[in-house]
């Protein structure tokens, strides 16, 4: 037994940020999940650059648990392929897969934490549910703002670049995701909801 306690064994959680891999998508609304994961990785001094499971991955220890941080490189609508590969490799149940992603029903920078649920029209989440055959995975929704008017094309909207004030709000929200994930891993999801749900 070391002075610092026992080291965690095996990867026991996946934390997945959703987005599109090309540089042109970097500051678009659909990449809020990537932004949040990058922010977490920076705070943890984790290097999310290894190519595995059709994703960029890196390991970190959060709340005493070994976690795989993951950015699927399959494009948003096929995110489930990467998530399912990693989950099946490490034998991780849906309840231990936390997904960070954009939500157009919330104002930019607002957060909403859910234990599980439907895809709500989000194609990345829809694909993960299809591949995992389960909607029982926890998630952190990051508000990116709704379409300016109902007739605006949804794909055009989610692939549009944030305005500067929106970007700042989303980056600030991304800065809270590590604490949220820590609480969720500790089994304190209710506390995370109380603190951060808008």
Give the residue-averaged pLDDT of 139-165: 88
**Rounded Cα gap, residues 129 and 96, in angstroms:** 14
**Rounded Cα gap, residues 62 and 186, in angstroms:** 9
* CA 77 from centroid of its chain's CA atoms: 14
| Banded pLDDT at 6 (limits 50, 70, 90) | very low
Phi and psi at 16, nearest 5°, equal: -115, 125
Domains in the chain: ranges and CATH: 13-196 (3.40.50.1470)
User: Of residues 30, 122, 149, 176, which has the active-site annotation?
Assistant: 30
Report the sign of the C-alpha dihedral through residues 125, 131, 133, 139, in that order: negative
Q: Is 30 a catalytic residue?
A: yes
Instruction: Give the pLDDT confidence score for residue 187 in this predicted structure.
Output: 93
**Rounded Cα gap, residues 193 and 90, in angstroms:** 28
Structure tokens at 118: 């439907």
Report the sign of the C-alpha dihedral through residues 37, 176, 192, 20, in that order: negative
**For 166-176, what is each residue's pLDDT tens digit?**
999 999 999 99
Per-residue pLDDT for 48 more than 90?
yes
**For 89-147, what is each residue's pLDDT tens digit?**
999 999 999 999 999 999 999 999 999 988 888 899 999 999 999 999 999 999 999 88
Average pLDDT, the chain: 90
Instruction: Give the pLDDT confidence score for residue 9 in this predicted structure.
Output: 62
Instruction: Give the pLDDT confidence score for residue 139 in this predicted structure.
Output: 95
| Banded pLDDT at 8 (limits 50, 70, 90) | low
Instruction: Give the pLDDT confidence score for residue 1 in this predicted structure.
Output: 36
Give the residue-averaged pLDDT of 173-190: 94
Q: Which are the contacts of 177, defined by CB distance < 8 A and separation ≥ 6? A: 36, 37, 39, 40, 100, 140, 142
| Percent share of the chain, pLDDT over 90 | 75
**Residue showing tokens 């603190």:** 195
- Got the DSSP string for 130-179? HHHT-----EEEEE----SSTTS-HHHHHTSBPPHHHHHHHHHHHTTHHH
> pTM to 2 decimals?
0.92
Instruction: Give the pLDDT confidence score for residue 22 in this predicted structure.
Output: 87
Per-residue pLDDT for 194 more than 70?
yes
């Amino acid at each position: 037994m070391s002075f610092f306690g026992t080291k965690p064994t095996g990867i026991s959680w996946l934390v997945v940020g959703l987005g599109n891999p090309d540089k042109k998508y970097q500051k678009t609304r659909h990449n809020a999940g990537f932004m949040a994961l990058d922010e977490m990785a920076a705070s943890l001094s984790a290097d999310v650059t290894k190519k595995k499971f059709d994703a960029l991955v890196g390991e970190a220890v959060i709340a005493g648990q070994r976690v795989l941080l993951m950015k699927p490189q399959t494009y948003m609508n096929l995110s489930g392929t990467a998530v399912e590969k990693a989950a099946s490799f490490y034998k991780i149940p849906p309840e231990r897969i936390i997904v960070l992603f954009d939500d157009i029903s919330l104002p930019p920078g607002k957060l909403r934490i859910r234990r599980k649920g439907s895809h709500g029209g989000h194609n990345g989440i829809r694909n993960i549910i299809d591949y995992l055959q389960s909607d029982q995975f926890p998630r952190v929704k990051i508000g990116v703002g709704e379409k300016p008017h109902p007739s605006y094309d949804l794909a055009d909207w989610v692939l549009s670049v944030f305005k500067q004030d929106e970007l700042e709000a989303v980056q600030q929200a991304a800065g809270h995701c590590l604490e949220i994930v820590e609480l969720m891993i500790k089994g304190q999801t209710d506390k995370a909801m109380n603190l951060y749900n808008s």
